[in-house]
Structure 1
Amino acid sequence: MSKKLLRIAGILFIALVLAACQDSADEEEDHEHDHESEENAEAGDAEMEGFNAHYHTGDTVSLTATTEADEGDGHWHWYVRGGDEGEWEEADGGDGETFESEAVNHQQIKATLYDGDHEVISETEPVTIIIDDHDGDVYEGYFDDEDVEDRDISDWAGEWKSIYPYFEEGALDEVYEHRAEESDDMSFEEYKEYYDTGYATDVDNIEITEDGEFTFHEGDETYSGTYAYDGYEILEYEAGNRGVRFIFELEEGDEKAPQNIQFSDHIIAPQKSSHFHIYWGDDRDELLEEVDHWPTYYPVEWSEEQIIDDLYLH
Structure 2
Amino acid sequence: MAPRGRSTQSTGSASASTFRTAEPASLMLLKGSEHYLATRALDRIKTALKAQHPDLEYTRLDASEAGPGELTRLTSPSLFGEPRLILVEDLAQMNDTFLADALRYLEEPDDEDVTLILRHSGGNRGKKLLDALGRRAVVIDCSPVKSDADKLDFLRQEFRAAHRTIHPDAARALVAAAGSSLSDLGGAGQQLMRDVEGEITADHVDQYFGGRVEASAFKVAGAAFDGRAEAAARLYRHALATGVSPVAITAALARLGRQIAALVDHRGSQGQLASALQLPPWQLKQAAETARRWTPTRAADAVEAVAQADAEVKGVSRTPEYAVEKAIATIASGV
TM range (shorter): under 0.3
User: What is the TM-score of this pair, normalised by structure 2?
Assistant: 0.25
User: What is the TM-score of this pair, normalised by structure 1?
Assistant: 0.26
Larger radius of gyration: 1
Higher RCO (Cα < 8 Å, 6 or more apart): 2
Question: If each structure's helix is expressed as a fraction of its own residues, which one has the higher value?
Answer: 2
